[in-house]
């Protein structure tokens, strides 16, 4: 059975505490549980002060079969940030501008050059989605169309190669949009050029959707994850319904995601078969896990968490 663990972002103390709380014992080399496997939803790096330690906890667990993991958008971005653009000398597949530098700064600062290049190699080995025995795991959105595009591209480009990364970072490519959907969430463009200012004051014309719900009868504000007051309370029109993912059949296997920086005293489910385990440990929230024992209908009773230190 699986313990699905949320975005860690360089918070090793909380990760150790959470693993121990769940009965994973560290005997010599790594944390292990006699009859459970950990599942990491990605976003191991950036922000926190113990990035190298996090990788030293997670990687041996995976290498020895005690855990599996999917890639987060921060790992994908890191690969692109450190991959030179073959078409533009001195440039990289992810631009080295202020915003991108800042987002990745802690990782670059804390890891030696050797550790960093080894970490990047490891990120390239991470799957973008996992269809396990009874559950599905992805960093942000289980969109089967996008997942299929990614799987085809991985087969065509021999895994997460530089060729794959070239296509995956070129805005005009289907693959680029698919990776964004799966790793950053399915977004919906607001109608009639409407925009709103987000918390950082950035003008935004797109919102992250509650991709596991049908938008019929909902307003853009109601269909945004997490809720943002500044999003207009206008109905999502029927013409937009075909742009969104729907994971709303109760018979579909439970899906676990991270990514959304949720905040709550007690974690709650997104849907009877959808759970987010990201409760913002890197912003003073908590590091959360869901302990899955084979149930089709999830229960909020099965979340466990430790507070950020």
Residues binding Mn ion (CB under 5 A): 43, 72-73, 259
Q: How many Å apart are CA 280 and CA 302, to the nearest integer?
A: 18
Between strands 203-204 and 196-197, the pairing is: antiparallel
Please say which residue, 116 or 262, places its beta carbon nearer to Mn ion.
262
* Residue, CB closest to Mn ion: 259
How near is the Cβ of 72 to Mn ion at its closest, in Å? 5
**DSSP assigned state of 235:** B
Considering the complex, state which of residue 73 and residue 280 has its C-beta at the smaller distance from Mn ion. Answer: 73
d(CA 167, CA 176): 7
Q: State the minimum distance, in angstroms, from the CB of residue 187 to Mn ion.
A: 14
Q: What is the DSSP code (8-state) at residue 82? A: T
CB of 137 to Mn ion, least distance (A): 14
- Judged by CB, which is closer to Mn ion: 16, or 259? 259
Contacts of 143 by beta carbon, 8 Å cutoff, 6+ apart: 178, 181, 182, 186, 211, 245
Q: What distance in Å separates the CA atoms of residue 25 and residue 31, rounded to the nearest whole number? A: 5
Q: Least distance (Å) from Mn ion to the CB of residue 257? A: 9
Which three-class secondary structure state does DSSP give residue 252?
coil
Q: How far apart are CA 196 and CA 187, in angstroms?
A: 14
In terms of CB distance, is 24 or 180 closer to Mn ion?
A: 180
Minimum CB separation of residue 73 from Mn ion in Å reads 4
When the beta carbons of 36 and 259 are compared against Mn ion, the nearer one is 259
């Amino acid at each position: 059975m699986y313990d699905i663990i949320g975005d860690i972002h360089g918070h090793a103390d909380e990760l150790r505490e959470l693993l121990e709380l769940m009965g994973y014992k560290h005997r010599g080399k790594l944390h292990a549980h006699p009859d459970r496997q950990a599942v990491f939803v990605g976003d191991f790096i950036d922000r926190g002060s113990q990035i190298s330690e996090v990788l030293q906890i997670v990687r041996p667990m995976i290498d020895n079969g005690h855990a599996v993991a999917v890639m987060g958008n921060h790992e994908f971005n890191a690969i692109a940030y450190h991959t030179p653009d073959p078409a533009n000398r001195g440039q990289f597949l992810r631009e080295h501008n202020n915003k991108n530098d800042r987002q990745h700064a802690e990782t670059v600062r804390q890891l030696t050059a050797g550790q960093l290049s080894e970490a990047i190699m490891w990120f390239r080995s991470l799957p973008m989605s996992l269809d396990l025995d009874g559950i599905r795991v992805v960093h942000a959105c289980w969109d089967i169309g996008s997942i299929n595009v990614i799987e085809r591209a991985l087969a065509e480009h021999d895994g997460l190669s530089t060729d794959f990364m070239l296509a995956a970072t070129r805005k005009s490519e289907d693959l680029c949009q698919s990776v964004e959907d799966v790793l950053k969430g399915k977004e919906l463009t607001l109608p009639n050029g409407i925009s709103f200012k987000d918390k950082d004051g950035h003008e935004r014309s797109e919102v992250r959707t509650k991709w596991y719900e049908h938008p019929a009868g909902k307003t853009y504000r109601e269909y945004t994850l997490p809720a943002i007051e500044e999003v207009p309370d206008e109905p999502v029109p029927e013409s937009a319904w075909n742009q969104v993912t729907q994971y709303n059949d109760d018979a579909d296997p439970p899906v676990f995601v991270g990514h959304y920086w949720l905040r709550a005293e007690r974690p709650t489910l997104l849907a009877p078969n959808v759970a987010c385990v990201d409760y913002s440990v890197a912003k003073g929230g908590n590091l959360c896990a869901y302990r899955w024992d084979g149930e089709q209908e999830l229960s909020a009773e099965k979340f466990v968490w430790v507070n950020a230190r």
